[in-house]
Structure 1
């Protein structure tokens, strides 16, 4: 069977993995999840007990969660090295370093902002300090990533890799939370423009928005979430 990537909307981090699947060019399927509704259900937590995306159903029917684990699964199948590099090379090490930073410190910096947004019932006395802390954390991590970016068109070389996909899914949260002003980070701004205009990422965003775009042809259809849960959830 083709692997199935469970991706969320709106603004799901897994959209960057959709782009990575497109760049890889091997057959896959998708399953679309409303993160504000579907992920809060007991049924979904049978699939991922932490109530998060992404989730990958591997080609042998195993349930794999966590972005870094899914990225490693993709890397292992990239025999043509379209989205990764040969193991043990400096390029592979740099790609892993950047994926690790983006998936931990950079992504985690948004946590206070999401906590403030999702607080129910709202409590302004708690939300405002969370937003202030979150904006400072996000700005700090943007500065750190800006310093890590080299002179190549993408994070590791002249083509997009898994590192660029992992970044693209998350980086757009800055505009959503109005923190920080991305123009203050010229290298990161230019990198984002290149990734976000790539047809593979444009395809992922269109799917996220509920459209039916034409991609590379690698995506073989969408599987209803209820079917994924009934077949693969524990």
Structure 2
């Protein structure tokens, strides 16, 4: 079957996996989920009991969750090495290192900021503490990523890889949470400019915003969340 990526909006980290599917160049379908609405419905737990996106309905109908696991699934099927490298190469090791850093420390640094924003009953003192912790962490993780980047225009070399896909969905949270201007980190800023102008990222961002776009032709349309849960939910 054609795999289905369940991706979230608004500003979901999973946007970058949609872009990666476009770069991969193989047929896929999508399921767009409101993370502040549909995802909170108890039925969604049948796809991911942790109540998160992304989730992938893979080629045999099995559910794969967690960004790194989905990225590994895509990498294993990237025979042409369009978004990855020979698994035994140094380039593959470095790509995995960058992916792991972005998906853990870099992404996790935003956690306190999301927690402060999403409190059911606002507590100003708690929110202020979380915001301070989050801002300090985000600035530090950006400094660390800036130090890891060698030469552009992408995180690795002259083409986008899975590492770029994982970065581009999360990096925009810097502005969403009004932490700092990305120009503070010249290497990250340059990579983001290239990625955010990439047709696959423009396509993925447009879909996230509810626009009707066609991309490069690999996307075979959207599937309603209720249908995905009914057919594949555990």
What is the TM-score with the length of structure 2 in the denominator? 0.99
Q: How does 1:121-140 map to 2 (within 5 A)?
A: 121-140=121-140
Q: 2:7 and 2:172 mapped to 1: Cα distance?
A: 16
CA positional deviation for 1:230: 0.4
Query: What residue number does 1:63 align with?
Result: 63
CA contact (8 A) 1:138 1:180 kept: no
Cα contact 1:10–1:209 (8 A) shared by 2: yes
Residue equivalent to 1:91: 91
Query: 1:48 maps to what in 2?
Result: 48
The answer for the alignment partner of 2:34 in structure 1 is 34
Is the contact between residue 47 and residue 63 of structure 1 (CA under 8 Å) also seen in structure 2?
Answer: yes
Distance (Å, rounded) in 2 between the aligned partners of 1:152 and 1:110: 25
Which string of whole-angstrom CA distances, capped at 9 and with x for unpartnered residues, describes residues 33-82 of structure 1?
A: 00001111110011100000000000110000000000000000000000
Q: Any stretches of 5+ residues in structure 2 without a counterpart?
A: none
User: Residue by residue, what CA displacement relative to the aligned partner does 1:82-116 show, whole Å, maximum 9, x if unpaired?
Assistant: 00000110110110000000000000000000000
Counterparts in 2 of 1:13-28, with a 5 A limit?
13-28=13-28
Provide Cα deviations, 1:149-187, integer angstroms capped at 9, x if missing partner: 111311111000000000000000000001132111000
Residues 152 and 191 in structure 2, CA contact (< 8 A), matched pair in contact too: no
Identify the residue that residue 232 of structure 1 maps to in structure 2: 232
Give the SS at the match of 2:17.
helix
Q: 2:170 — aligned with what?
A: 170
Whole-Å Cα distance in 2 between the matches of residues 52 and 197 of structure 1? 27
The 1-side partners of 2:137 and 2:179 are apart by 10
CA distance in 1, matches of 2:129, 2:139: 15
Q: Is the 8 A contact 1:55 1:65 kept in 2?
A: yes
Aligned residues: 234
Gaps of 5+ in 1: none
| Cα distance between partner residues in 2 of 1:39 and 1:50 | 10
Q: Where do residues 152-163 of structure 1 align in structure 2 (5 Å cutoff)?
A: 152-163=152-163
RMSD: 0.6
CA distance in 1, matches of 2:183, 2:4: 36
Contact kept in structure 2, 1:110 and 1:137, CA below 8 Å: yes
In 2, the alpha carbon distance for the partners of 1:104 and 1:77 equals: 24
SS of corresponding position for 1:134:
helix
Alpha-carbon distance between aligned partners in 1 of 2:91 and 2:47, rounded to the nearest angstrom = 34
Counterpart of 1:208 in structure 2 is: 208
